[in-house]
């Protein structure tokens, strides 16, 4: 057997974060030990809600307000 160190990365979800942002974001941090290797930023949670509201209204102009 070879004496190799196993590389293990962990994914830590952070969010959704909304402190005074126009739109909440969620971060998925991939870490290896104490070092951040990769970050996935997920945005668009507010957009989905507005789109759903617009599908249930009769008049398209109501989507603006």
47 within a domain of the structure (yes/no): yes
**pLDDT, position 46:** 65
**pLDDT, position 63:** 65
| CA 59/CA 32 separation, integer angstroms | 51
Name the residue range of residue 19's domain.
10-63
**pLDDT, position 15:** 80
Q: What is the number of structural domains in the chain?
A: 1
Greater confidence, 1 or 61? 61
48 within a domain of the structure (yes/no): yes
**pLDDT, position 64:** 65
Closest CA to 37 of 5, 7, 15: 7
**pLDDT, position 21:** 63
5 within a domain of the structure (yes/no): no
20 within a domain of the structure (yes/no): yes
4 within a domain of the structure (yes/no): no
pLDDT digits 0-9 by tens, 10-55: 999 888 776 666 777 888 999 998 899 999 988 766 666 667 777 7
């Amino acid at each position: 057997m070879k004496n190799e160190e196993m590389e293990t990365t962990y994914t830590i979800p952070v969010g959704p974060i909304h402190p005074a942002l126009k739109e909440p974001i969620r971060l998925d941090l991939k870490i290896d030990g104490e070092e951040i290797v990769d970050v996935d930023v997920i945005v668009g949670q507010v957009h989905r809600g507005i789109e759903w509201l617009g599908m249930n209204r009769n008049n398209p102009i109501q989507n603006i307000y």
